[in-house]
Chains A and B, each alone.
Chain A
Amino acid sequence: MLPFILKRLGLAILVALTVSFISFSLLFLSGDPAAALAGETASGEDIEAVRVLYGFDRPMLVQYSEWLMRAVRGDFGESYYFKLPVASLIAERLSVTMILGACGISFALLTAVPLGVVAAIRPNSIVDRFALFLSVAGQAMPSFWFGLILIVVFGIKLGWLPPSGASSWRHFIMPTVVLGYYAMPAIMRLTRAGMLEVLNSDYIRTARAKGAGEGRVLFKHALRNAIIPVVSLAAVQMGFMLGGSIVVESVFALHGAGYLAWESIARNDLPTVQALILIFSMFYIVFTFLADVLNAWLDPRMRSS
């Protein structure tokens, strides 16, 4: 188990370093970051002053290693727009996004897993067809559009839920649904496929032959084994969700990290954008690492690959 964890950890660190380098090099994508920062009306001398002030005159690798060293200590520099430390800006906003992500994945799991189980127990039944329809339609629905429709129907026409903001738990209901439904199809399909496979296996027949009750067979014997791949899928989806929060937060005006990302991108606030790309990536890397370790613990066969 330990060699597996160490090897997997090494991979995670290498991936994190590569991602950090890519997000750092975004700064140089525009050509000259000093000229971009100084503005269109700046003279050559102004640009040169900005270049020295921000240290853009040094070799890129030196700048990268310095940026990384500070980033590891939680210092992402100062926001060009807010003139505040990027780290405190993000820390302030991150909790909203994390609550939203946790609610989103919980919603997806709590709806998709039961649907997948029922669909597998009764293949081709009405529930199975409904689940299939939901998964096909869900994948095709643009999340921002779905959000707008919910706002019009439940936020305004019916007036049941607040259309925007983040001041109470009721504000999180619609964003949770919009963020969560996107992960549902994949989780449901995997649960259904896993349950179908497990239910046809020999040990389920053995369990039934021993006279175990149907509920015991389904939940203790079948679901426990079918759910293993769902764990790692949920971790991957959770990582995607944090990235997807940028769309959902801007639709519902939830002032989380996703909304901050959108604001900073629109304002060319590169230090904030770089930090957010790195942080969202880190969440994904940590989640998938934990999921792989958990999987290897639950299923020793995974440890060899």
Chain B
Amino acid sequence: MSVKKTTAPLMEEITGPTPRQILRKRVTGHTGLLFGLAVVLILLFVAIFAPLLAPHDPYAQSLSSRMVSPVFLGGTWEHPLGTDHLGRDYLSRLIYGARVSLLIGAVAAAISGVIGTAMGVAAGYFGGKVDAVVTFLINVRLAMPVVLVALAVVAILGGSLQVVIGVLGLLLWDRFAVVMRASTLQVRRREYVAAAQAIGASTSRVILSEIMPNIVNNLIVIVTLEMAHAILLEAALSFLGLGVQPPTPSWGLMISEGKNMMLFEPWLVLIPGVVLFMLVLAINLMGDGLRDVTAPENRS
């Protein structure tokens, strides 16, 4: 009864899946990437709509309801995650804290990305003296202890969101420069670059429309890794009291403030730490996943 297949084979049966189909299959089959992407998108949503989602004002203190336990430890739904030592709603502070972390991570990674990419691409493309200078600068940057220099600069200039972002942006460009230099070196010798040069394309045109599109995969991966790095560093600086200043709701600051009471109220330290861990884990999984999907040959 089965109908015998008499039609000619379809185009896709001959040519196999298109690159787009392969990509889609790789993305949907990659649990880590999907999980990371989901968590990052949820936290991004929370950060953007913080004023609508937060049940209370994150700055509003209340002396009568200090250190209320979270609902799973016998608290009430009035404060689902309890309140801190000044009676501020913990969930609201957590929600606004997502803004601080994501903003610092994104802007710092963008600044260092621009610096590092410019240096790395210039070194890889021009080689010679430019390469020597950039390699030297990378060496200098790697020799300086990031946490120490960042703490010292923040202490001198005063802790604020802008200073922390600026310091991290100016310090975290090393991996961008290293990876972009190596990627440019690989791409530079390809025929299409030689072809573009042969037909008289300007240097900026060769770099922007021949080199950049072919190394942007690697760039995106480093952006995610450095974003995670910047978020962790901001938390560490704020924890040490030399990052974002109180009363700004920063997760690192929340851990620092909860630390003195962690013996009796360990959730004050646990909750912001777990959220911070989840965000950084998600960003890293997203970065690893993007690398696996777009450039599986770079997997180590």
Contacts and interface: CB of A to CB of B under 8 A. Distances in A.
A142 B242 contact: no
A185 to B, nearest CB: 10
A193 B259 CA distance: 39
A87 to B, nearest CB: 18
B140 A148 contact: no
B262 A148 contact: yes
Contacts of B136: 11, 14-15, 18
A190 B140 CA distance: 24
Given A145-B269, A273-B152, A276-B148, A136 B140 contact: no
A243 B146 CA distance: 7
B155 A265 contact: yes
B37 interface: no
Given A15-B136, A246-B148, A280-B148, A26 B156 contact: yes
Contacts of A29: 153, 156-157
Interface in A11-61: 11, 14-16, 18-19, 22-23, 26, 29-30
B263 interface: yes
B143 A142 contact: no
A152 B263 CA distance: 7
Interface string B234-261: 0110011110000000001001000100
Interface string A137-152: 1011111110011011
Contact of B149 (A247, A250, A277): A277
B276 A145 contact: yes
B284 interface: yes
A249 to B, nearest CB: 11
B143 A145 contact: no
Interface residues of B, number: 43
Nearest to B228: A140
A22 B273 contact: no
Contacts of A244: 147
Contact of A22 (B32, B144, B232, B235): B144
B277 interface: yes
Given A22-B144, A136-B288, A149-B273, A142 B152 contact: no
B19 interface: no
Contacts of B9: none
Contacts, number: 133
Interface in B88-142: 136, 139-140, 142
Contact of B255 (A140, A148, A243, A285): A148
Contact of B145 (A14, A189, A243): A243
Contacts of A14: 136
A176 interface: no
Interface in B200-240: 228, 232, 235-236, 239-240
A170 B270 CA distance: 25
B263 A156 contact: yes
Contacts of B145: 240, 242-243, 246, 277, 280-281, 284
A178 B40 CA distance: 26
Contact of B273 (A139, A142, A240, A247): A142
Contacts of A250: 240
A158 to B, nearest CB: 13
Contacts of A151: 262
Q: How large is the interface on A (under 10, 10 to 19, 20 to 34, 35 or more residues)?
A: 35 or more
A143 B151 CA distance: 16
A152 B269 CA distance: 10
A48 to B, nearest CB: 22
A67 interface: no
Contacts of B300: 189-190, 193
B164 interface: no
A243 B148 contact: yes
A152 B140 contact: no
Contact of B139 (A11, A30, A149, A246): A11
Nearest to A185: B284
Nearest to B285: A136
B17 interface: no
A13 B63 CA distance: 58
Given A145-B276, A246-B147, A276-B148, A15 B140 contact: yes
* Residue among A15, A144, A193, A261 having the largest count of chain B Cβ atoms under 10 Å: A144
Given A14-B136, A140-B281, A266 B242 contact: yes
B143 A141 contact: no
Nearest to A190: B300
B182 to A, nearest CB: 13
A295 interface: no
B293 interface: no
B25 to A, nearest CB: 20
Interface in A190-210: 190, 193
B281 A137 contact: yes
A30 B147 contact: no
* Residue among B143, B156, B240 having the largest count of chain A Cβ atoms under 10 Å: B143
Given A18-B140, A265-B151, A144 B255 contact: yes
6 contacts: A136-B285, A144-B240, A144-B252, A236-B142, A243-B146, A247-B240
Interface of B: 32, 136, 139-140, 142-149, 151-153, 155-157, 228, 232, 235-236, 239-242, 252, 255, 259, 262-263, 266, 269-270, 273, 276-277, 280-281, 284-285, 288, 300
User: Which are the 3 A-B pairs with shortest beta-carbon distances?
Assistant: A243-B145, A140-B281, A145-B273
